[in-house]
């Protein structure tokens, strides 16, 4: 509205000043008043524009994730291998064999919160009695890696938006599969990080053997406090994970 009025006034002022210049008249009191008014409106317009720009800056800051609290300490984190040697590690992000096609971890380690590790050990012990064990694809994921992943694949169905962070960043989510207790392959229907409906828990067009494997993993994990997400059979969140802060520490490699 203000801009519209401003343009109209400038038009009038230009019109009057041009016609006066041609005719050679002195500006009338009305023209002078209009010029003054247009100057005031222009100043007001600039102020509005400046305040709009300030607002835009603050939105960008929020989108940039400055509202999120990220710590760099490793409090409560444990290396799962220091607590049990019954797991298999197949950390995909420590290789380039992942959807990013890039090695984003300098070495393959599985860190989680102590409480999460204890629950995983219990679930694994139960699976061992049935001839299986847990294989890890991903555990704690530093926040800076999350941002990198989002930049490459900004799809909230598969990568958590760094704005809110991922449960992986809190050390309370794991990406896992089953292997035979002797180490043999277990068919879960799709590969890890298969971004399609075949990886959904609701997808039923799979062999009874595959459905049985997914069910065994799901029921065992749920028994020890883990929850599924709709789109990934391999992802498990530990209950009450928001009590843990989003972290950005990087583990040491030997």
Residues binding Zn ion (CB under 5 A)? 175, 235
Of 90 and 175, nearer to Zn ion (C-beta) is: 175
Residue nearer to Zn ion on the CB measure, 9 or 94: 94
Question: d(Cα 113, Cα 172) in Å, to the nearest integer?
Answer: 6
Contact yes or no for 200/156 (Cβ under 8 A): no
Query: Nearest approach, Cβ of 43 to Zn ion (angstroms)?
Result: 55
Q: How far is CA 131 from CA 124, 182, 210, 241, in A?
A: 10, 8, 16, 30
Question: What is the nearest approach in angstroms of Zn ion to the Cβ of residue 9?
Answer: 60
Closer residue to Zn ion in complex, CB, 135/235: 235
CB of 175 to Zn ion, least distance (A): 4
Which CB sits closer to Zn ion, 13 or 100? 100
Distance (Å, rounded) from C-alpha 171 to C-alpha 211? 28
Q: What whole-number distance in Å separates Cα of residue 45 and Cα of residue 5?
A: 10
Q: Give min distance, CB of 188 to Zn ion, in A.
A: 14
Report the length, in residues, of the chain. Answer: 254
């Amino acid at each position: 509205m203000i801009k519209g009025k401003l343009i109209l006034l400038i038009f009038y002022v230009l019109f009057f000043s041009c016609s006066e210049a041609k005719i050679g008249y002195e500006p009338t009191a009305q023209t002078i008043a209009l010029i003054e008014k247009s100057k005031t409106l222009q100043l007001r317009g600039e102020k509005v524009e400046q305040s709009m720009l300030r607002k835009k800056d603050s939105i960008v800051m929020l989108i940039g994730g400055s509202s999120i609290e990220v710590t760099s300490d490793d409090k409560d984190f444990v290396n799962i291998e220091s607590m049990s040697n019954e797991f298999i590690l197949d950390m995909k992000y420590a290789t380039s064999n992942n959807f990013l096609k890039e090695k984003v971890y300098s070495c393959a380690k599985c860190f989680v919160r102590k409480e999460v590790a204890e629950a995983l050990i219990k679930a694994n012990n139960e699976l061992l009695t049935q001839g299986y064990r847990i294989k890890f694809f991903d555990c704690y994921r530093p926040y800076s890696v999350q941002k990198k992943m989002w930049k490459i694949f900004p799809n909230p169905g598969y990568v958590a938006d760094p704005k809110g962070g991922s449960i992986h960043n809190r050390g309370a989510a794991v990406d896992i599969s089953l292997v035979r207790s002797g180490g043999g392959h277990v068919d879960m229907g799709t590969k890890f990080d298969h971004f399609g409906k075949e990886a959904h828990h609701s997808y039923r067009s799979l062999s009874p053997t595959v459905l049985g494997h997914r069910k065994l993993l799901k029921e065992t994990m749920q028994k020890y406090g883990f929850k599924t997400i709709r789109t990934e059979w391999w992802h498990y969140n530990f209950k009450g994970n928001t009590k843990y802060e989003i972290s950005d520490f990087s583990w040491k490699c030997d």
